[in-house]
Amino acid sequence: MNSHDTFKFAETHEWADIDNDGLVWVGISNHAQEALGDVMFFQAPKLGQQVKQGEAIATIESVKAASDIHAPISGEIVALNEAVDASPELVNEKPYAVWLFKIKPNSADSLTSELNQLLSLEKYNSGPGA
């Protein structure tokens, strides 16, 4: 995983990071976890599930509210973070170190195109993450 200043952000407050193996790690932003408060439950997408960019695919719940998690890119869910399943509060402790699931992109071309639609940390922090 890279430093969070290299992450790409969706306007719906998810972050995406490309690992060396070509998989995209997905988590929620610091802004999102602060707005949620104490996270109590995470309903992950299904392994093998095909997702489309922007589609609501998971749910995260706190004492304050429940919120959908959207796919920042299209592809297949290939890994789930079992630590978050067991201890969802980890998201509050280190939102940029705790990933929720990994997506295998449909293709390199679609990945590049979809990542270009996401925001840099600077644009996210001056817009939806402000």
For the chain, give every domain's residue range.
4-118
The position carrying tokens 């929720």 is 100
∠ at Cα 128 (120, 51), nearest 5°?
70
Domain range 4-118, its CATH number among 2.170.150.70, 3.40.50.300, 2.40.50.100, 3.20.20.70: 2.40.50.100
* φ, ψ (nearest 5 deg) of residue 124: -65, -45
Q: Does pLDDT of 65 surpass 60?
A: yes
- pLDDT at residue number 3: 60
As a whole-number percent, the residues of the chain with pLDDT over 90 amount to 85
Show the tokens assigned to 127. 């817009």
For range 5-23, the mean pLDDT: 93
pTM of the prediction? 0.93
Calpha distance 40→27 (Å, rounded): 16
Q: Does pLDDT of 2 surpass 60?
A: no
For range 46-75, the mean pLDDT: 96
